[in-house]
Amino acid sequence: MSEVLSKRFFERGNAFLRTEVPFVCGAMTWVSEPHLVAAVGNAGGFGCLAGGNTPLGILERQIAETRELTDKPFALNLVTIAPAYHEQLELLKKLELDYVVFAGGFPRQEEIKAAKATGAKVLCFASTKSIAERMINYGADAIMLEGMEAGGHVGHVSLTVLLQQVLFEVGDAIPVFVAGGIATGRMCAHLFMMGAAGVQFGTIFAMATESCAHPKFKEAFRRANARDAISTPSIDSRLQVVAVRALRNKGYDEFSKLQLDLIQKIDAGQMDRVTAQLEVERFWMGALRRAVQDGDVERGSLMAGQSVGLVDEELPVAEIIANLANDCETELQRVRGLLV
């Protein structure tokens, strides 16, 4: 029997995440709740519980519930631009978490140190080379390199470029996980060969059987093409907002109107920029809740990566992970056959 090549390529990511396969389910607000996170862990992968803007009491209960559903490690994802962020960061002292992921924006050095002081390993998102270097210098234990193809809050550089700028440069020094527009095991094989420690997925797990997303939400994903997942523009430099990739609908269009309204309030002295940015986050979190929980696919936010064009069926988490791993191994064996 031929050697299982993926075992060798999975080794570094598995050692860091304490997993069987270094496939990560990204933290999707309102979607990555205890049942989905536990299902991913129980299937051998790594789940991230979405902190979002969750009130502290509810967040504590969700962590406890996740621990009841699985004995596998998982991460808490903190969105640095969420209104509840600083309260959640303070809560880390009593949670005794194994992993913390900073996302949505970029944490300060003292915030990374505070998370690590609790005993947690810290992963930080990076959407540019300079941000990756800064997070490494701040003490991040690993980097999540995310291209603009991803869903939700995104940067402006494609994963193809980031692989060359960051993964090729720092992949030997620190574990680098990659994300953005990925939905097949065959693609994963090539990312591992390039030096990735693991791969994160979002859209494909939002479609999972265990995902709590409303059937209408999943149906919108199933019907969508890659070009339907578009990134929001920033209308004016006076209101700096993080771009969000989602399927275009009436809710997407309403965000442009919101920006104009907030800019007018800033100009009139009725609101400062920080408050305006918090209003933006409240808009997205509320719109996303309506889509995920209520099935409002017209005015809710359908946050999706461009990989939505590759996802056309609902499958159990265990089957998704098994398919990814099997297809990854098949491609590695195919490449070896070409090289030998």
pLDDT tens for 159-186 read 999 999 999 998 788 999 999 999 999 9
* Domains in the chain, CATH or no CATH each: 5-213+307-339 (3.20.20.70), 227-306 (no CATH)
| pLDDT band (50, 70, 90) for residue 153 | confident
What is the reported pLDDT for 257?
A: 84
| pLDDT band (50, 70, 90) for residue 67 | very high
Q: What is the mean pLDDT of residues 177-205?
A: 97
| pLDDT band (50, 70, 90) for residue 329 | very high
Residue 1 has pLDDT above 60, yes or no: no
| pLDDT band (50, 70, 90) for residue 28 | very high
Distance separating alpha carbons of residues 134 and 31, to the nearest angstrom? 30
Residue 236 has pLDDT above 80, yes or no: no
3 state SS of 28: coil
Alpha-carbon torsion (167, 168, 171, 173), positive or negative: negative
Name the token pair of 317. 């988490």
In 3D space, the residue among 87, 168, 189, 177 whose CA is nearest the CA of residue 140 turns out to be 177
What is the reported pLDDT for 119?
A: 96
| pLDDT band (50, 70, 90) for residue 271 | confident
Name the token pair of 184. 């097949």
Name the token pair of 209. 């059987």
Name the token pair of 112. 């990374």
| pLDDT band (50, 70, 90) for residue 298 | very high
